Structure 1
Amino acid sequence: MVVSAANAFAKEMSIRKRIAGIYNKREDDFSSLREYNDYLEEVEDMIINLVEGINVPAIEARISEYQRENAEQIMNAQARKSCGSQAGTSNVPQGQYAPAVAGGIAQPRPMGIPNPLGSGHDMMGLEYEDEETRRIRAEKAARAGGWSFEISKKRALEEAFASIWV
C-alpha cells in the first residue's frame, strides 16, 4: 500500500509539473479575477482527471491543441522562468559573502555591532533559551491547548483495563 501511494504521488507530481509548464498563464493575463479562477479550476480538473485516468485521450487532445495555439506564450513564460531562476545564482559558494552590485558598482558590506558569543542572543537577535525555560514553555503551551498529564494517564489506564476484558 505504501509503495502504491508513493507511486500515485510521483505520478501526480509529474503530471502537475508537465501541465504547469504548458498552462502557465498568470493573473495579469486575464481581464478579471473570475476569469483567472475559472482558468485555474479548469487546469486543476484536467490534472485530477489525468491522475485518475478519466477521459485521458480527450484531455491529451485539449493539451495538444492548447500548446499549438499558445506556443509563443508558453515559450515566453518558460524563458521568463529560466531567467528568474538564473537571477538568484552567483559564482560565490553558498554560505560566503557576496557583495551586492548596483549599477556595476559593488556595494559595501553592511557594518554593525556584532553580538559576542555567549551574549544570550542568536544571529537573529532572539534570546537563547535554556532547557528549563523550554520545558516550562512547552508545559504552558500544552495546558493552554487543554492537555494535562492526569487526563493522559487516566485515558491510558482506561484503555489498558478495557483491553483486558475483550
Structure 2
Amino acid sequence: MVVASGTNAFAKEMAIRKRIASIYNKREEDFPSLREYNDYLEEVEDMIVNLVDGIDVPAIEARIAEYQRENADQIMNAQARKAEEYAAALAASKGQLAQTGVDLSSSSEAGTSAVAQGAYAPAIAGAGIAQPRPMGIPVPLGSGPDMLGFEYEDEETMKLRAEKAAKAGGWSVEISKKRALEEAFASIWI
C-alpha cells in the first residue's frame, strides 16, 4: 500500500506542476534581470509545494485565478510560442525544414528574426509575412493526426492492430489453447 500512496502522491504533484506551469509560463528573457526571474521561479515553486502539501490551498487558488485574469494575454502568447517551438522541433526531427527551404543558419531563431517582436509567425513561414497572434480559446480541427502525428483510432481498429502485432510476433490463439490444455492435463498426474 505504501507504493500505491507514493504513486498517487507523485501523480498529484505532477498534475499540479503541469497545471501551474501552463499558467506561470514566463521565461528568463521576460524579466529585466536574472534575480527577478529566480524570485519568480522561487514563488512558483513555493506555491506548488504548498498545493501538494495542502497548505493554504484556497489562498493560493485565489492568487492563481487573479494571475490568470491579469495575465491572460501573456499566458496565451507564451502557450502559442511554445506550440510554435514544438512544431518547429517536430518538423526539424522529420526533416521538413530542409524540404521547405528555410535556412536555419541565417537567423538566430529558426527563421523568425525577420518578424516583428510580438507578431505571430508560424514556425515554418515561407513568405515571412507577420500575422497577428490568434486570440481566444484554440478549437480542435476535428479528427486526424494529433500533435505527435498519430491517428485517433476506435476500439475495433486498435483490437485489429493488436491481433496483427501478435501474429507478427508468432503468437496465435491455437498455440495458447494447446499450451493451456497441456499444462492443465500435466498437473492432473502430479
What band does the TM-score fall into relative to the shorter chain?
A: 0.5 to 0.7
Counterpart for residue 16 of structure 2 = 15
Q: 1:99 to 1:74 in 2, by over 3 A?
A: closer
TM-score of the superposed pair, with normalisation by structure 2: 0.49
- Counterpart CA distance in 1 for 2:97 and 2:41 is 40
Question: Which secondary structure does the structure 2 equivalent of 1:16 belong to?
Answer: helix
- Displacement of 1:69 after TM fit? 0.5
Question: Which secondary structure does the structure 2 equivalent of 1:4 belong to?
Answer: helix
Counterpart for residue 99 of structure 2 = 101
Counterpart for residue 55 of structure 2 = 54
5+ residue gaps, structure 1: 106-166
Q: 1:100 to 1:71 in 2, by over 3 A?
A: same
Counterpart for residue 75 of structure 2 = 74
- Counterpart CA distance in 2 for 1:71 and 1:53 is 26
- Counterpart CA distance in 1 for 2:9 and 2:24 is 22
- Counterpart CA distance in 1 for 2:44 and 2:5 is 25
- Displacement of 1:104 after TM fit? 6.1
AA partner of residue 21 (structure 1): S
- Displacement of 1:98 after TM fit? 6.3
Counterpart for residue 88 of structure 2 = 87
TM-score of the superposed pair, with normalisation by structure 1: 0.56
- Counterpart CA distance in 2 for 1:77 and 1:99 is 23
Residues 109-129 of structure 1, C-alpha deviation per residue, up to 9 Å, x if partnerless? xxxxxxxxxxxxxxxxxxxxx
Structural RMSD (CA): 2.4
Q: 1:99 to 1:45 in 2, by over 3 A?
A: closer
Counterpart for residue 3 of structure 1 = 4
Q: 1:28 to 1:104 in 2, by over 3 A?
A: closer
- Displacement of 1:59 after TM fit? 0.1
- Displacement of 1:72 after TM fit? 0.2
Question: Which secondary structure does the structure 2 equivalent of 1:89 belong to?
Answer: helix
Q: Which has the larger radius of gyration?
A: 1
Question: Which secondary structure does the structure 2 equivalent of 1:88 belong to?
Answer: helix
Q: 1:10 to 1:104 in 2, by over 3 A?
A: closer
- Displacement of 1:87 after TM fit? 1.6
Counterpart for residue 116 of structure 1 = none
Q: 1:16 to 1:104 in 2, by over 3 A?
A: closer
Counterpart for residue 143 of structure 1 = none
- Displacement of 1:34 after TM fit? 0.8
How many residues align structurally?
A: 102
Segments ≥4 residues shifted beyond 6 Å: none
Identity of aligned residues (%): 70
